[in-house]
């Protein structure tokens, strides 16, 4: 089994990459295994730019292929916010609960028909001596009136995938990994993943 570095410190993402890469016979190492003090500044204005920054920074340091994920939630009624600022919506300290409370407050009084949103994930693969790959996956849905469920992470308790009657946090990890933005992004780097196993 081949090991790949995913340049993230988010434990929720790490678990999902582990589950989704296992079918390619790839095991996942993260920045938490490497050096928790590594802090890569996300200075881009798009998910793609930030994913590339994270993957290339670590590829240049280690001279190995590196995968990175930049993701977030776009809410139509908020003109696409929190978008690339999803992790720091309620402030610099990353706090999933504060972020989703701020989101619910900002949507107060907005009816169900106007609560459309999508999860977006850009996955980048930076490779020594080869061009960087970056692909986007999305998951359409809407924002619930209150948090429900305990699976997943981040905004999962307030995100209802299109066609579902439960929040993403009420889906098992296997269910989420079949429909998520991250699943759709990873699917697009499948050919490269198959060359890595
Ligand atoms: O940068 P790394 O270290 O990968 O970890 P991070 O948590 O800072 O990740 P991002 O910069 O990509 O910010 C993404 C935020 O968007 C939210 N998010 C992304 N994917 C999600 C998912 O599958 N379910 C729920 N929320 C998600 C979540 O709040 C994340 O903190
Ligand atoms: Mg981040």
39 pLDDT band, cuts 50/70/90, is very high
pLDDT in tens, 55-73: 999 999 999 999 999 999 9
Tell me, what's the pLDDT at 190? 97
Nearest-atom index, ligand 1, CA of 168: 24
Q: Is 41 annotated as a binding residue?
A: yes
Domain assignment of residue 154, given as a range: 2-196
- CATH number of the domain encompassing residue 152: 3.90.950.10
**Residue 145 backbone class (left: φ over 0; alpha: ψ -120 to 50; beta: rest):** alpha
135 pLDDT band, cuts 50/70/90, is very high
Our answer to whether residue 70 is catalytic in this structure is yes
The pocket around ligand 1, CB under 6 angstroms, is made up of: 8-10, 13, 42, 69-73, 86-87, 96, 99, 119, 152-156, 180, 182
Number of domains making up the chain = 1
> ipTM for the complex?
0.99
Q: Is 13 annotated as a binding residue?
A: yes
- Compute the distance between CA of residue 98 and CA of residue 82 in angstroms, rounded to an integer: 13
pLDDT in tens, 154-164: 999 999 999 99
* Length, in residues, of the chain: 197
Q: Which ligand is nearest to the CA of 87?
A: 1
């Amino acid at each position: 089994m081949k090991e790949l570095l995913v340049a993230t410190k988010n434990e929720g993402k790490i678990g999902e990459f582990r589950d989704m890469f296992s079918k390619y016979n790839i095991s996942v190492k993260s920045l938490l295994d490497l050096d928790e003090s590594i802090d890569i500044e996300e200075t881009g204005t798009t998910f793609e730019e930030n994913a590339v920054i994270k993957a290339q920074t670590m590829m240049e340091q280690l001279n190995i292929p590196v995968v990175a994920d930049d993701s977030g939630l776009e809410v139509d009624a908020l003109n696409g916010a929190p978008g690339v600022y999803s992790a720091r919506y309620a402030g610099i300290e990353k706090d999933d609960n504060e972020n989703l409370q701020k989101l619910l407050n900002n949507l107060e009084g907005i009816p169900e028909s106007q609560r459309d949103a999508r999860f977006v994930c850009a996955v980048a693969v930076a490779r020594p001596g080869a061009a960087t790959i970056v692909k986007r996956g999305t998951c359409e849905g809407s924002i619930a009136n209150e948090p429900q469920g305990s699976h997943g992470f981040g905004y999962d308790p307030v995100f209802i995938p299109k066609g579902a009657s439960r929040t993403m946090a009420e889906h098992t990890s296997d269910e989420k990994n079949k429909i998520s933005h991250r699943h759709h992004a990873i699917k697009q780097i499948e050919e490269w993943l198959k060359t890595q196993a």
